[in-house]
Structure 1
Amino acid sequence: MSRIETHMPAVHEFEPSAHVDSFARDHLPPQEQWPVMLWDTLPELKAYPKRMNCAAELLDKQAAIHGDRPVIYYNDEVWTYTKLLEAANRIAHVLVEDYGIKPGNRVLLRSPNNPMYVACWFAVMKVGAIAVATMPLYRWRELTFMTEKAEIELAICDWRLRGEMETTLRESKHLKRICYFYSEDVPDSLEARMATKPAVFETLDTAWDDVCLIAFTSGTTGPAKGCMHFHRDVMAICDTFNRYVLRPTKEDVFTGSPPLAFTFGLGALVTFPMHVGASTVLVEQYTPQKMLETIQAKKVSILFTAPTAYRAMIDLAKNFDLSSLKKGVSAGETLPLATYQGWYDATGVKLIDGLGGTEILHIFITSEGDGIRPGATGKPIPGYEAAIFDKDGNRVPPGTVGRLAIRGPVGCRYLDNPERQTAYVQQGWNFTGDAYMCDEDGYYWYQARADDMIVSAGYNISGPEVESVLLMHPMVQDCAVVAAPDGERGQVVKAYIVLRDKTQATPETVKLLQDFVKAEIAPYKYPRQIEFIETLPRTESGKVQRFVLRKQAAETKV
């Protein structure tokens, strides 16, 4: 065993930037705080030119090849590659000519999943600006924080979300203007401005290491952190996970529930399908029923959603023709074995469990096809390396739980946040905050988030492990397990459970579920406290907000 490598990341020689506004490069962390970047581990990555704009790669070039093919299905609309290109070009003219956007300026985007959002995102890329996408459920305080942190002056927003946006305009020191779309009664709407612009725009020749997006984390443990990513990063996720794991073709039809403002959604529903000339179905608000209806109606072949959605669809799947579905990707939270098996039994599709993060843009550990080992997250995807370290910085042997560290062609660069940067990146590795175990065969097994490990009477207990067992019981629809303070044991395991039949929320059910857990795993891990609730608190990207439940558990007297 050895300590974390002491070598520092090699100094990166920046390409001459196309940015007139130098904000992004001025606010990158110093290079000694960057992770080691594995930019040459794959042939595709080695071949990248030093001048690169991801809009040219994903939209301009693909439209030249697949112009008349559908790229987006939305309600009754069908957008071809050519239509999307022309819309993005017109919006690019609006940005430059009507709003004076210069290369390097930040533009806030705010919308549910729809084709106008996609066109706006590509327009921002084409003019060399930086997209700052925001979740539709964010409120003005969160939006104001982002506009201040990224010094944003212009927002492009869906008219239906104007309420919080207008409050942000009043409260923000930096935000000066808002351009709305889907606003038929507004004379200076984005569509009205687009109507006067040409359908041709020359995409700016940006450097491959020009920042093109600042993705704010979901902020489950405090203020959101801005993750700065380059044009080459956007292409790198396409040439790693998409190329080597998902392997779609132009005939595939994608859909899924993650918001496009979430980097998981951006890859899953925009850049991955467009990378191969495929199409995507965008739905603004998915329910399990709606998702199954869409798969059947649109002949969807690749699905991206969270474990909770797959779990909710298992019992409904028999009512639909899902024969078109070839692949399902699960991310956002660890995939319980019961959900994996239930979905496979219902559909015959083996779910691809993926671990990713906003800091690294997309998935970096996964498995697919015959390489899937049910219950394990998988192995590092091509282009990435993983390792497990103890709290003192020593690598641990297989079978030992420790801190997961990752490095690859994309890595963490926080916007002006040295404290979090040096916590996340240590000696060239990205430390994700997850507790993992790697087995003798190189498969990585999720144990818990670092703050989800429960220490009860000296025993280390993984909350997600207890959750996985509870979800195997037919009475349990959903659950989350956290630590609750206890005078005798320090902490005890507490389970918040959503029952399929709410009338069964009785003391008898509590004992039944406790006994079930005792029979499946070591008895000391059973939930000594169980509380039945209507629904679990979740972020918009589907993650359970365990910090909310921990706070609630700490305040509850038993």
Structure 2
Amino acid sequence: MTSAHVDTFVRDRLPPPSLQPEFRLLDYPERLNSAVALLDGIDPNMVAIANDSVSWRYGELHERSDAIARVLVEQAGLVPGNRVLLRGANTATMFAAWLGILKAGGVVVATMPILRAGEIADIVARAAVSHAIVDSRCLADFRTAQATCPTLRSTLVYDGDAGTGELEARMAAVAPGFDAVATHRDDPALIAFTSGTTGTPKGCIQYHRDILAPADSFARQVLAPRAGDRWLCSAPIAFTFGLGMQLIFPLRFGGTAVTLENTTPSALIDAVERMGVNILATAPTAYKAMLTGLTDVPRSLRTCVSAGEHLPANVWHAWRAATRLEIVDGIGATEMMHVFVSASGSDIRPGATGRAVPGYDVTVLDETNQPMASGTGRLAVRGPTGCRYLDDEDRQQVYVVDGWNVTGDTYRRDEDGYFHFVARSDDMIVSSGYNIGAPEVENALCAHPAVRECAVIGAPCPDRGMKVKAFIVVAPGHEAGAALAKALQDHVKAQIAPYKYPREIVFLGALPKTATGKIQRSALRHPETQP
């Protein structure tokens, strides 16, 4: 292949071909700039992005992303292949910057707005980031990090969607239009860092073709989007689930990205009503929280998508009873870019995550790494996307096994090809010789009205080897204490096999979570993080 990248830092740090997974590639032109592909061919007068501050049409988004690309190249000295840090909440200007970076041939390195200086500095160092585009409201931690980052040579600052920042002034001064770099379909487009649920975040390299693949597989085949649909997702675009649901999918299908900075459950449901949202994507805990006080379902809402954590069957049933809408569950991974197991409509089986998304081959592996037609094992997948860690061959060899991407999840595959979540592979608890899946215990606990949130881990036990330990956030109107702990233990014994009940219960004000909102069970396993 003939790369358009002048700066070959990322290409030079790809895993060798022998350590990469097998791919089942979708057909894209050899010369492919994914930002151009997302914007071309759509009526420029259709609304591309809407929020409480702005409403930009596709033509305006094209023009603003062109202007950002021109500023990066002509004023900031960006050459194709340079890495550009993006820091800010989901806003129209952030999305224009994401597109502008790709048009200029840069590699996007988006970060969660809640990351602190040390975390930002680590990402900048590992990706050798040379440029940054930062929302002024997220500058404090960035400036602290910047002082320790010698690779950073340019920082452009914008003011949310107010239009009053330094970047916006530069954009107004450049000539209109920009000839997008003719990147190769296999040129790196972004480095997405994992959320760190299992330790140090890993940098996942995705090509320009990988940007489009989730839209042309999961979104097109499972969600069946319509032109003009309004999409809203609670996740930031630094989280690839959010990148797909909030930016890539709306643009790919001529829809509108509805952005929201305050993504609490109550704010989400209010925005759905106020902005006429058709497709909503958020985490299972948010769907459960939105049920509290929900009296009427916005008529615009047609599709609800859940990912990031396992969707408990009781939450699915409760949401359907309250809204008459069936949540589309799915599992994805940053390494895989987006969702690869899901189901919608009549294909949904509550409690099951779903079946392989068209374009993907999914199985479970036995202890000898052999695929099983049915049974319980490690989830493995291959398809149009796959794992390419940045400069990390040790962890690449763990994730990719005999051409399969092995996600670290234990699943049961039934005879009909549906996949049922059992546990993260490191969340399996072996107590007195019994295998106990932490999610099963969590599902039982969450069915009790006194439980707002919970997390279950295995804790050392001299008698049983390990014991089930539960961390509980109590719902409003209930009081933590010994009486509630006993009631919850009895409740679990009545719901599932009694040996699975939590022998220790700890009440917390909040559960530790990653920047993407996933429960950080690794933190709960360390004694110094426990009360």
For the criterion TM > 0.5, the same-fold answer is: yes
- C-alpha contact 1:214 1:229 (8 A) present in aligned 2: yes
Partner residue in 1 for 2:8: 22
What is the aligned counterpart of 1:403 among 355, 378, 385? 378
RMSD: 1.7
Q: By how many angstroms is 1:219 displaced?
A: 1.7
What is the aligned counterpart of 1:338 among 285, 291, 314? 314
What is the aligned counterpart of 2:93 among 92, 116, 127? 116
- Structure 1: distance between partners of 2:210 and 2:165: 35
CA deviation vs aligned residue, 1:103-143 (integer Å, no higher than 9, x gap):
11111111101011000000011011100001101111111
- Residue ranges of structure 1 left out of the alignment (5+ in a row): 1-14, 40-44
Partner residue in 2 for 1:490: 465
- Structure 1: distance between partners of 2:263 and 2:350: 27
- Structure 2: distance between partners of 1:185 and 1:125: 23
- Are 1:391 and 2:377 counterparts? no
Partner residue in 2 for 1:224: 201
- Alignment map for 1:107-506 (pairs within 5 Å): 107-182=84-159, 189-318=166-295, 320-398=296-374, 400-501=375-476, 503-506=478-481
- Structure 2: distance between partners of 1:215 and 1:113: 16
Q: Which amino acid aligns with 1:460?
A: N
Q: By how many angstroms is 1:391 displaced?
A: 2.9
Q: Which amino acid aligns with 1:170?
A: A
- Structure 2: distance between partners of 1:555 and 1:478: 16
Give the 3-state SS of the residue equivalent to 1:317 in structure 2.
Answer: coil
- C-alpha contact 1:169 1:176 (8 A) present in aligned 2: no
Partner residue in 2 for 1:535: 510
Q: By how many angstroms is 1:361 displaced?
A: 0.3
Give the 3-state SS of the residue equivalent to 1:157 in structure 2.
Answer: strand
Q: Which amino acid aligns with 1:112?
A: A
Give the 3-state SS of the residue equivalent to 2:298 in structure 1.
Answer: coil
Q: By how many angstroms is 1:202 displaced?
A: 1.2
- Structure 1: distance between partners of 2:65 and 2:225: 25
- Are 1:78 and 2:55 counterparts? yes
- Structure 2: distance between partners of 1:140 and 1:504: 37
Deviates more, 1:414-423 or 1:308-317: 308-317
Q: Which amino acid aligns with 2:21?
A: P
Partner residue in 2 for 1:36: 22
- Structure 2: distance between partners of 1:184 and 1:251: 22
- Seen in structure 2, the aligned counterparts of structure 1 residues 66 and 535 have a Cα distance that, compared at 3 Å, is same
- C-alpha contact 1:183 1:189 (8 A) present in aligned 2: no
Please report the TM-score for the alignment, with normalisation by the length of structure 2: 0.97
Partner residue in 2 for 1:54: 34
Q: By how many angstroms is 1:186 displaced?
A: 12
- Structure 2: distance between partners of 1:513 and 1:448: 21
Q: By how many angstroms is 1:549 displaced?
A: 1.3
- C-alpha contact 1:73 1:280 (8 A) present in aligned 2: yes
Q: Which amino acid aligns with 1:50?
A: E
Q: Which amino acid aligns with 2:237?
A: L
Q: Which amino acid aligns with 2:358?
A: P
- Structure 2: distance between partners of 1:78 and 1:125: 22
- C-alpha contact 1:56 1:203 (8 A) present in aligned 2: yes
- Structure 2: distance between partners of 1:555 and 1:302: 38
Percentage of identical aligned residues: 45
- Structure 2: distance between partners of 1:492 and 1:447: 18
Q: By how many angstroms is 1:487 displaced?
A: 1.1
Q: By how many angstroms is 1:394 displaced?
A: 2.9
What is the aligned counterpart of 1:91 among 60, 68, 88? 68
Please report the TM-score for the alignment, with normalisation by the length of structure 1: 0.93
- Seen in structure 2, the aligned counterparts of structure 1 residues 20 and 85 have a Cα distance that, compared at 3 Å, is same
- Structure 2: distance between partners of 1:550 and 1:304: 30
- C-alpha contact 2:524 2:530 (8 A) present in aligned 1: no
What is the aligned counterpart of 1:511 among 475, 486, 490? 486
- Structure 1: distance between partners of 2:94 and 2:163: 18
CA deviation vs aligned residue, 1:410-437 (integer Å, no higher than 9, x gap):
0000000000000001110000000111
Q: By how many angstroms is 1:150 displaced?
A: 1.0
Give the 3-state SS of the residue equivalent to 1:195 in structure 2.
Answer: helix
- Structure 1: distance between partners of 2:164 and 2:518: 39
- Residue ranges of structure 2 left out of the alignment (5+ in a row): none
Give the 3-state SS of the residue equivalent to 1:156 in structure 2.
Answer: strand
- Are 1:102 and 2:102 counterparts? no
- Structure 2: distance between partners of 1:140 and 1:506: 38
- Structure 2: distance between partners of 1:121 and 1:237: 17
- C-alpha contact 2:93 2:160 (8 A) present in aligned 1: no
- Seen in structure 2, the aligned counterparts of structure 1 residues 183 and 125 have a Cα distance that, compared at 3 Å, is closer
- C-alpha contact 1:89 1:198 (8 A) present in aligned 2: no
Aligned pairs, number? 531
Q: Which amino acid aligns with 1:412?
A: C
Q: By how many angstroms is 1:538 displaced?
A: 1.3
- Seen in structure 2, the aligned counterparts of structure 1 residues 390 and 366 have a Cα distance that, compared at 3 Å, is same
Give the 3-state SS of the residue equivalent to 1:354 in structure 2.
Answer: strand
CA deviation vs aligned residue, 1:517-552 (integer Å, no higher than 9, x gap):
111111110111111222211112121011111224
Q: Which amino acid aligns with 2:386?
A: G
